[in-house]
Amino acid sequence: MADYVDRLFCEALASSPATHSVHSAHSKCISKVDSDTSDEEEKDSIERIRSTMMESEGTSGDEEVVRRVAAQLKIFRHVTKDCSVKRGKHVSISERKEKGFKSTSLTYGEIPFVTMALTLEKIKSRGGVRKNKSTFYDLGSGTGKACFAASLLQPFRSVVGIEFLSSLHEVALETKLRFDELPREAVASELSALRFVCGDIISHDWSDADVCFANTTCFKSDLMRALAKKSEKMKKGSWFVTTTKTLDSDHWEVVESIRYKMSWGFATLFHQRKVK
């Protein structure tokens, strides 16, 4: 019954119309983005981030972390201001209709910035992110927002987004032009570390990933099986974060599952660690 309801939800979502150091490190770029967010909005963001992190196990609620995330959120909003959820959904639906793609696996959705921040903080606290040594992949990267977030939030050696739909890939490249203009000190990862690939996530090699993210809520069962099989090539101790569904493989253990609000509604994020 759950699979049937999940399928109906994904089909409806797929076909619906598109409606809807810290201070000094950021000093050069904050002036560029001050006009994007009012003081009241910034204070509200800080309070929401603080309360969310305090409530979330495995993340620090100290003021430095809260203000760092809030500062990066402000930069993220500036970088991604032209690629809203509404635009991403519209671009996705348009290409799928034009090319006759019917699979719900291509349904568009986004993970919010603060949710990604909490997720990566949890994985980092468990040794999953090593400074300038870890690689992050977003499988089905859409307009690239999870990759921009990961680059701003953690010191990854490499951040890679793989997207099947060429129109979404183009939006990610367009947004990257704005990202590339940021001062080096505004970004946790190397600026040159971020890249986007247009292709099939099953055909592309991502076995070098230390942290993988995939919005799998609407992935069909055959794609989930292929994803689980391919993920077995990742190294022991690496991490894979999925939404709604887990990797069906004894190579992985679920370390934590927690519900967050996503762009389409609430979904469970599964933090999985590779055990063999």
- What is the domain-level CATH number for residue 93? 3.40.50.150
- pLDDT per residue as tens digits for the range 18-77: 433 333 334 444 344 444 444 555 555 666 677 666 666 555 556 777 888 888 999 999
Residue 33 in domain: no
From CA 153, how far away is CA 166, in angstroms rounded? Answer: 26
The SS3 assignment for 239 reads: strand
Give the mean model confidence (pLDDT) for residues 111-123.
94
The SS3 assignment for 199 reads: coil
Total structural domains within the chain? 1
- pLDDT per residue as tens digits for the range 144-186: 999 999 999 999 999 999 999 999 999 999 999 999 998 888 8
Model confidence, pTM = 0.83
Cα angle 41, 77, 197; round to 5: 160
Residues whose CB is less than 8 angstroms from the CB of residue 226 and which lie 6 or more positions away in sequence, other chains included? 202
- pLDDT per residue as tens digits for the range 66-109: 888 888 999 999 999 999 999 999 999 999 999 999 999 999 99
Residue 43 in domain: no
Domain residues for 181? 2-20+85-274
Residue 49 in domain: no
Residue 12 in domain: yes
- Give residue 9's pLDDT: 47
Q: For residues 174, 177, 182 and 186, what is the CA-based torsion angle, rounded to 10 degrees?
A: 50
